[in-house]
Structure 1
Amino acid sequence: MDICDGALSYDVMLVIGAVADLLESREVLNIYAEKIRTLQRSLKLGLSSNLEHWLYSRGLSDREVCRHLSNLIVSKGDEGNISESFFEDHRDYIEPELKKFPSVFWKAIY
């Protein structure tokens, strides 16, 4: 089991990164390189959607918090409205959900 958690996962990340580098070197293959980079980021973070990646990049460094908020945002139909002011614009439902988690997550956003 340790091999899957350690060496294998690290090796897979290296291979995926190398493939993305090769694709990026060919301009016509950039669309595939973006998909490979998304896969690489998903494997690294343990998150599956771009919305979850975005939430993680905003300081919500817990996968379960990102998944929970992502599901909430999707259920509200706001996944297409992501911007720098998203948390302020949607504070009415984001803040109460964040308060269900340890305060470090609420403080990371507000």
Structure 2
Amino acid sequence: MKPIPISAAEKIAKTYDYDQVVVVARKVGDDGGEHVTTYGVDTAHCEVAARIGTTLKHHLMRWPSELFQTGLRVFGVGRDPNDEKSVTLDLSRPVSDDDIRVIHEFLKPSS
């Protein structure tokens, strides 16, 4: 199971002439999981698609809700050129210490 890249959602949007695309994928079984990818043709449409994706993840798929209640949206992910083990996040607003704690809790390995 691999994440579906945003470029795949973008291809759907361009091929079928849509402004927003939300892809929900599931793999059932012991090695299963769920994935949501969103795309919008511009910043406004990206935000709407992201809200739709968040609603599906939180309300329909029952993903942990604390992260989604922060109002943070990820607009981009990149590599830190100075540290090959680090990534950078382009977020919808400046982050607070509480936001960082929630992100950490969401990303940390389960015990």
Q: TM-score scaled by structure 2?
A: 0.26
Which structure shows the higher helix fraction?
1
Which protein has the larger Cα radius of gyration, Structure 1 or Structure 2?
A: 1
Q: Which has the higher strand share?
A: 2
TM-score normalised by structure 1 residue count = 0.27
